[in-house]
Structure 1
């Protein structure tokens, strides 16, 4: 991490495909402004999996960090010199940070786990012991990583669970169950439901259990953001669940990225205000 930004250009960016929807630039630029890192910049670039290696090889010494979104969270691991335990366990990196002692070295991080943990906590789900996760890709593995050994995860998928996701859950010492899409009876006893798939892919929401006789309301977290309430969020509200916001996950994974890339604690209030403004602008454009 490089902690100073005076006189020397420092460049960061978010890469992925598609990338036009990303709100990461608003969050990171707000952080740089609040931290008076006037020589830092943050860009957005369309990069797919096949183009990642060439794009990464083309980075010059001004580049400090990258945020990675789909479909780059898995391919980015191969570019790293060092992989943190969380990134290794999930097989996914949403952050690459250049080393200070060795500028040729890059470290792969997964800050999605921090974002998910914080979003669930803010909605009242602290230290969950059981989850139902819709999907089994990279973000699903980040959700699984919020559970401590001995916890229980139910994976709701259309066909079959990705082997690497099943393997991660077993290696973490979790009890693993699988159900088909729309088999919502499995959600009756979990602490939280985390959906990692497009909202239109989540069927049969009439079957989501009604919350009764629970000491603490379970939580639904739909990781998508920016398009208003999703059908899953609306169904959860109607049935007595607490709803965690995908924007909270986005915000808090970004605060951790800012800390890793700049060496400064992230200015949460400034980043939160920038996120609210960006969401309002997006809604006004529709």
Structure 2
């Protein structure tokens, strides 16, 4: 940069600093004037409040509504105090204002109940309060219906002989998770349900022992328990063919894969049948009775 241009640049710097300083002064003066004007508005609101008979006088309400909704520089709480009201009382008195957002269901414009109002946080497009209530009732009804259906499916039992259940449980219990090197709560455990499957099999075997049933008796196990038992047994059946034979031989002469495949079909068939019963008992559009709803919540509180 040539030395003859330096003075010209310095002149521009000095001018820019002067402009900035003048702007700072103007801003401070404007802010001071804003404070004084805001104070003047509050004083006039107080005078108006003293001049009317009640806080709900039309003249006062009109002024408050304009200042609150159209003049955001006037603080809401201070405005309410000037009118001799609490903020909540003032908002109830002046009423809401259009939000500029239409209800996605009925098309009515949503209303702002305060300056800080935001559309209700919920999935999907915005809805007006009436449509939100309808949507909530619909969601609640569907949840109750699904819960009633789930109960039928949950209570459904897969019938098979005690011999078949014992063969499946012994096959699963022969491979404890610790022997497999799987820690409870590990990623492998969470993904494959190893500990849950092993404990499920142990619980089934305990119930079979306590029931004092014989191998040819038909015994029912819930769909969820049976599905988990068979899925885990099918995973381990091919790990060691000779050991699998040693495990199931004392219980049955049937090949383990054939036995488990039949149980798997039985689980699938019972699950489908239970789903059909549930759908028939509680079809689409079903309105649960008050007793059914109370029964659902009573069961959840146990």
Common fold by TM > 0.5: no
**Larger relative CO (CA 8 A, sep 6+): 1 or 2?**
1
Q: Greater Rg, structure 1 or structure 2?
A: 2
> Comparing both structures, which one devotes a greater share of its residues to strand?
1
Greater helix share, 1 or 2?
Answer: 2
TM-score category (smaller protein): under 0.3
TM-score w.r.t. the length of structure 1 is 0.26
